[in-house]
Amino acid sequence: MTTHDNKPAIRAFLAQYFGEHRLADDADIFATGLVNSLFVMQLVLFVEGEFGMAVEDDDLEMENFSSVDAIDALITRKRSAAVSR
Protein backbone atom coordinates (compact mmCIF):
# COMPACT_ATOMS: atom_id res chain seq x y z
CA MET A 1 0.00 0.00 0.00
CA THR A 2 1.71 3.18 -1.16
CA THR A 3 0.91 6.33 0.70
CA HIS A 4 -0.82 8.90 -1.41
CA ASP A 5 -2.53 12.18 -0.90
CA ASN A 6 -6.16 11.80 0.09
CA LYS A 7 -6.85 15.49 0.43
CA PRO A 8 -7.57 16.52 -3.19
CA ALA A 9 -10.39 13.96 -3.42
CA ILE A 10 -11.78 15.04 -0.05
CA ARG A 11 -11.64 18.70 -1.05
CA ALA A 12 -13.32 17.98 -4.38
CA PHE A 13 -16.12 16.09 -2.63
CA LEU A 14 -16.70 18.88 -0.14
CA ALA A 15 -16.60 21.55 -2.86
CA GLN A 16 -19.81 20.08 -4.31
CA TYR A 17 -21.58 21.04 -1.11
CA PHE A 18 -19.72 24.09 0.02
CA GLY A 19 -19.29 25.68 -3.41
CA GLU A 20 -18.15 29.20 -2.84
CA HIS A 21 -17.09 28.67 0.74
CA ARG A 22 -13.57 27.41 0.14
CA LEU A 23 -12.94 25.48 3.33
CA ALA A 24 -9.49 25.51 4.83
CA ASP A 25 -8.19 22.00 5.52
CA ASP A 26 -8.52 22.55 9.25
CA ALA A 27 -11.89 24.36 9.11
CA ASP A 28 -14.73 22.74 11.06
CA ILE A 29 -17.30 21.46 8.57
CA PHE A 30 -19.94 21.08 11.26
CA ALA A 31 -19.58 24.70 12.29
CA THR A 32 -20.75 25.93 8.87
CA GLY A 33 -24.39 25.20 9.69
CA LEU A 34 -24.68 23.57 6.26
CA VAL A 35 -24.46 20.01 7.50
CA ASN A 36 -27.57 17.86 7.29
CA SER A 37 -28.30 14.16 7.42
CA LEU A 38 -28.13 13.76 3.65
CA PHE A 39 -24.73 15.39 3.49
CA VAL A 40 -23.39 13.28 6.34
CA MET A 41 -24.62 10.10 4.70
CA GLN A 42 -23.03 11.09 1.38
CA LEU A 43 -19.79 11.96 3.17
CA VAL A 44 -19.57 8.57 4.87
CA LEU A 45 -20.47 6.76 1.63
CA PHE A 46 -17.84 8.82 -0.18
CA VAL A 47 -15.12 7.86 2.31
CA GLU A 48 -16.12 4.20 2.09
CA GLY A 49 -16.40 4.19 -1.72
CA GLU A 50 -13.49 6.44 -2.65
CA PHE A 51 -10.97 4.92 -0.26
CA GLY A 52 -12.34 1.36 -0.23
CA MET A 53 -12.82 1.00 3.51
CA ALA A 54 -15.63 0.20 5.91
CA VAL A 55 -16.32 2.99 8.38
CA GLU A 56 -17.14 1.32 11.70
CA ASP A 57 -19.78 2.56 14.12
CA ASP A 58 -17.07 3.63 16.52
CA ASP A 59 -15.52 5.83 13.80
CA LEU A 60 -18.77 7.74 13.34
CA GLU A 61 -17.97 10.55 15.73
CA MET A 62 -17.89 14.20 14.77
CA GLU A 63 -14.20 14.62 15.50
CA ASN A 64 -13.32 12.09 12.76
CA PHE A 65 -15.28 13.98 10.09
CA SER A 66 -15.05 17.58 11.21
CA SER A 67 -12.47 18.80 8.65
CA VAL A 68 -10.40 17.79 5.62
CA ASP A 69 -7.50 17.12 7.99
CA ALA A 70 -9.64 14.99 10.30
CA ILE A 71 -11.03 12.88 7.45
CA ASP A 72 -7.51 12.46 6.03
CA ALA A 73 -6.25 11.35 9.44
CA LEU A 74 -9.11 8.85 9.79
CA ILE A 75 -8.36 7.32 6.36
CA THR A 76 -4.64 7.14 7.09
CA ARG A 77 -5.27 5.56 10.49
CA LYS A 78 -7.63 2.97 9.06
CA ARG A 79 -5.25 2.14 6.22
CA SER A 80 -2.34 1.51 8.55
CA ALA A 81 -4.57 -0.57 10.82
CA ALA A 82 -5.62 -2.64 7.81
CA VAL A 83 -1.99 -3.12 6.74
CA SER A 84 -0.76 -4.15 10.19
CA ARG A 85 -3.58 -6.67 10.61
Residues in contact with other proteins by the rule CB under 8 A: 8-9, 11-13, 16, 33-38, 40-42, 44, 46, 57, 60-62, 65
Are 6 and 52 spatial neighbours (Cβ–Cβ below 8 Å)? no
Q: Which is nearer to other proteins, 65 or 75 (CB)?
A: 65
Min. distance of Cβ 36 from other proteins in angstroms? Answer: 7
Are 23 and 71 spatial neighbours (Cβ–Cβ below 8 Å)? no
Min. distance of Cβ 19 from other proteins in angstroms? Answer: 8
Are 69 and 25 spatial neighbours (Cβ–Cβ below 8 Å)? yes
